[in-house]
């Protein structure tokens, strides 16, 4: 009997404590809000459907490179190195655009460590190399642009990308043989592949330059 009485008292204590806890949490307090603080006007403003501009804030357009020159650079860099500045491949080609040492020396770059650690220098080297290849291939660009070789339309950007891969001299041979003299690098990328992959970009931003230097 004593055991049952003790059990009942213990259970009653648990019920009382639980009810106090519930009451504390769920207790509702009525607070009267002064009239001066009450909101009587709706401040909901519908967002414009055709613009991000709101209350004088200008619309922000996300960058879209598309077929612009920067798009050309980024597409080629991704193919060469996945866009990484510090890459040196198994054949010793360097940086974001995978330059060879001899090509860099033509542009006045001799310190390889400095080159690998200077993204601005690498971007300048790419632009200068495009300008140099434009000068070397200027007659071929004029002659072959718009024609089709191997089912692929020849464009200035395709020619310049292929020159970056294989050198301007090999691109001349490819064009003048109408695709018969197609060469590939050690990884299997060919002039014809670059002609197709990088066709149609706007590379007019970079002028022709004879023997440009950094």
Angle at 149 between CA 148 and CA 150, to 5 degrees: 120
How many angstroms separate the Cα of 76 from the Cα of each of 23, 67, 97? 69, 12, 7
Amino acid 127: pLDDT: 98
Residue ranges of the chain whose pLDDT lies below 70 = 1-65
Amino acid 85: pLDDT: 98
- Is the pTM higher than 0.85? The answer reads no
Question: For residue 107, is it left (φ>0), alpha (ψ between -120 and 50) or beta?
Answer: alpha
Among 80, 82, 77, CA closest to 91: 80
Amino acid 66: pLDDT: 85
Amino acid 119: pLDDT: 98
Contact 203, 160 (CB under 8 A): yes
Amino acid 31: pLDDT: 45
Amino acid 32: pLDDT: 53
Beta bridge partners of 99: 94
Q: Domain locations in the chain?
A: 69-197
Give the side-chain half-sphere CA count within 13 A for 177: 13
Backbone angles phi, psi at 153, to 5 degrees: -70, 130
Amino acid 9: pLDDT: 58
Q: Mark out the alpha helices in the chain (DSSP H runs).
A: 2-26, 69-81, 101-106, 112-116, 119-136, 138-144, 156-166, 168-176, 191-197
């Amino acid at each position: 009997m004593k055991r049952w009485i003790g059990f009942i008292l213990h259970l009653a204590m648990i019920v009382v404590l639980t009810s106090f806890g519930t009451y504390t949490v769920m207790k509702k307090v009525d607070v009267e809000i002064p009239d001066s603080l009450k909101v009587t006007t709706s401040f909901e403003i519908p967002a414009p459907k055709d613009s991000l501009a709101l209350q004088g804030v200008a619309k922000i357009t996300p960058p879209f490179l598309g077929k612009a020159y920067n798009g050309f650079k980024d597409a080629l860099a991704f193919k060469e190195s996945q866009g990484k500045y510090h890459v040196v491949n198994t054949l010793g080609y360097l940086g974001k655009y995978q330059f060879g040492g001899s090509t860099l020396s033509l542009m006045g770059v001799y310190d390889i460590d400095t080159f690998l650690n200077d993204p601005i220098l690498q971007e300048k080297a790419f632009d200068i190399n495009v300008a140099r290849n434009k000068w070397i291939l200027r007659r071929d660009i004029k002659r072959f642009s718009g024609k089709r070789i191997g089912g692929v339309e020849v464009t200035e950007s395709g020619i310049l990308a292929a020159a970056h891969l294989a050198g301007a001299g090999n691109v001349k041979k490819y064009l003048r043989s109408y695709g018969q003299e197609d060469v590939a690098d050690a990884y299997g990328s060919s002039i014809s592949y670059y002609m197709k992959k990088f066709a149609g970009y706007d590379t007019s931003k970079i002028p022709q330059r004879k023997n440009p230097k950094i």
